[in-house]
Amino acid sequence: MITEFFERLFVHNRGSREDVKRRLKLVLAHDRSTLNASTLEKMRKEILVVVSKYVELDTDSLEFSIKTDSKMTALIANLPIRRILEPEDS
């Protein structure tokens, strides 16, 4: 309690402006990256079509998700490969 008192006395109020900017940037990074479920599903299907041209995937253990942390938003796809398909045009 005493230290708190001294802190109040001597520590200059650094203001809340940096706090609000930090919180806002974080929450907006999250808001902006929110994809609706149908868009995500559409994207997932299209990606699978492309990838399946080259490799055979283990369709039971596919994972698709959007993750956001303080720095960036990422689409995380985990596509286990069963085997590599032979290129058609070679």
Partner 1 sequence: MARVIVVTSGKGGVGKTTTTANLGMALAQLGYQTALIDADIGLRNLDLLLGLENRVIYTALEVLSGECRLDQALIKDKRQPGLTLLPAAQNRNKDSITGEQMQYLVNLMEKDYNYILIDCPAGIETGFHNAIGPANEAIVVTTPEIAAVRDADRVIGLLEAKGIKQIGLLVNRLRPQMVKANDMMSVADVKEILAIPLIGVIPEDECVIVSTNRGEPLVLDKKLSLPGIAFEHTACRLDGQQIEFLDLQSYSRGPFKRLRRFFLGSSAS
Should residue 11 be labelled a site residue for partner 1 when binding is judged by CB under 8 A? no
Should residue 14 be labelled a site residue for partner 1 when binding is judged by CB under 8 A? yes
User: Segment contacting partner 1 (CB under 8 A): 9-17, 35-43, 47-55, 62-70?
Assistant: 9-17
Angle at 31 between CA 26 and CA 34, to 5 degrees: 130
Identity of the residue, 24 or 85, whose beta carbon is nearer to partner 1 in the bound complex: 24
* One residue of 1, 6, 8, 17 binding partner 1 per CB under 8 A: 17
* One residue of 4, 18, 86, 89 binding partner 1 per CB under 8 A: 18
Q: Which of residues 21-50 bind partner 1 (CB under 8 A)?
A: 21, 23-25, 27-28, 31-32
Could you please report the per-residue DSSP string of the chain? Answer: -HHHHHHHHHSPP--SHHHHHHHHHHHHHHHHT---HHHHHHHHHHHHHHHHTTEEE-GGG-EEEEEE-SS-EEEEEE--EEEEPPPTT-
Should residue 85 be labelled a site residue for partner 1 when binding is judged by CB under 8 A? no
